[in-house]
Structure 1
Amino acid sequence: MNQSEGFLLSLPDDIVLKIVNLLQFSDVCSLSSCCRALKNLCGLDSVWLDLCNDRWPNLEIVQNTLGSLNNGELPVIISADDAVLKGWKEFYIYKHMEISMQSQIVIGSMKYDSNEFVKVKHYQTTMEKLWRFEFEFKDVEIFFFKPNLSGIINLVGLHYCIDCLEIPCDELIEALSRNKIIDRDVIARWWKYGEHFQDILEGFDNEFYFHGVSLEDIALSEVDLFMDLVRTRNSSLTIRLSSCSDI
C-alpha cells in the first residue's frame, strides 16, 4: 500500500465517498483497482448513478432516479432497448458499450478518396448519422476527440457540439485542450461556386480556393466562411475537406 492509498483509507468513508464522487469514470476505475476497500467504495451504486448523471444529464431514466436511490439492494434497470440491468454500474457499462458501437458506425461511415480528402456531401452524411444517435457532450469527447483519429472526425464531433448540443465555447476549448487536439488544422478546398457564395467569397480571384483553420478557431466561432462551406447544400460547389495530419 502506498502513501496515497494509506491516506485515503485513514479518512472516514463518507469523506472518501465525496472525493470519489468528484472523479471521472476512468479515475474511478483506476482507484477501484488499488485495494479491496477502495474497490468496494468505488463500486457503490450511488457513485455510478452520479457518473451516469454527469455523462448523460438529459437521460430521463437517470433523472427520475436521482435523490431516491436505495443503497440496499441494487435496482433493476430496464434500458431503452429492454435490456435488464442490475445496478447503475452495470447500466453505465452497458450504455458505454452501446455508444461505443454507435460511434464506430458513425466513424466508419466517413468516405475518403485516394488522397485522404472527404467530399462535403459524405461529411454531411456522417453528421446526419451522429445526429440520429443523440450523443451527449461527454460521449463526443470520449469517442470523437481522440488525437489518434482523423482531424475530420474531430471536426465532426466539434460541429455536432456546436450545432446540435450548443455547447459554450469555453467548454469546447477545455475539451479540445484536454484531448490535445486544439491546434489541429482542417482544410477546405473548393471551386465552381454559385451565386449563394458570391458575397462570401468576394476578393478571391482564382477558380480554386483553399481555406485552413484550427479546431480552436472553429470553437471560438471565428471562421464563419469555413462553417458555411461544411454546412452548404449548394450543388454547384465542389468542396473537399482534409486535415493537416491526414495528408
Structure 2
Amino acid sequence: MLQYLPTELIISIATYSTPETKSTIAQTCQTCYRAVLPLLWNYLPLKTVENLHDVVDRLHRNDWVSFATKFVHDIALTSQLTHQYTLEDLQGLLGIIDTGYAYLREENRNESMSLLSSSPSSLCSSTSNTFATFISNLMLYFPHSSTISLDYYLVSPYLTADTTTNITSFKGEIDLVHYRPGQTKCLHQLLISFPELTKLVIRSLSSPSFKLLLQSKPTLETLTIHWKYSPDSDYVESLSQMAADTGEWECKILVALSNSPGIRFSCKTK
C-alpha cells in the first residue's frame, strides 16, 4: 500500500519514524526505498576518531560510498562511555558554582594569543596529524556535511604539538560538547581546520574565553554558548557589554531549557 502514496507523504512518515522503522519502510518497495534513502544516510554517528576508518572501509566493501557522499549531512563524534563527572561537576553539585569571572580575567591575560596576531603556521603546527587526517577524511567522504558534533573529551587527546593540520572549506556548524574552560589554546587548534566556519555551538560547564573566538573567527555568523551551570547575572551582563563594545556583535540570553541556559552572539554585519 505504501507504494501508492505520494512520495512527499512517504518522506513525512519516515521523518518521524525510528531508524528501525525507516529501514523497514525502505525495504517495502522501490518507491519507498528511493524516498527514504536520504533519511537513512542523513546522520552518521562515530564513537571514536579511529572509528571513521572502519566506517569508510565498510562503505567501500558494500559499495555505499556514493550514497554516503551524497546524503550524509550530520556527523556526530560522541560516545556513551564518555566520562561525565569531573572535579568541576562535583563542585557544581556541592553548590560551589563558578561565577565566570575567572574566565573573564583569563581573556584579558591571554588576549595576545588571538589568532589575528599569530601566524597560521605556528597554530597549524600544534594540531595533531591524526585529528587532521580525521577531519580531512570527513570532508573527503562527506562533502555535503552541514553539522559536525564533536565531543571535546574524544578529540582533545589528539590536539598535541609538532604536527600539521588540514584546512577545510567547511562552512556549516560545529557543535562542541563537554568543552572545559581554560583550554583556549586547544580550542583554537581544533578550530583552525575550519577557517570558513559560520556557526559555532559550545556546551560547557561555564563560559569559555569567547572574546578570542569572536576576534579569530571573522566568518562566524553566530556563536552560542550553553552552560551546564549558569553563571551569575553580573557575569552575563559583562559578556553582553563586551559584545556591545565590539560594535559588531549583539547577544541574546537563551531561555533555560533542559537545564541548559546559555547566550547567543550574532554578528550584525552578516
Q: TM-score, normalised by structure 2?
A: 0.30
Q: Which has the larger share of strand?
A: 2
Q: TM-score, normalised by structure 1?
A: 0.32
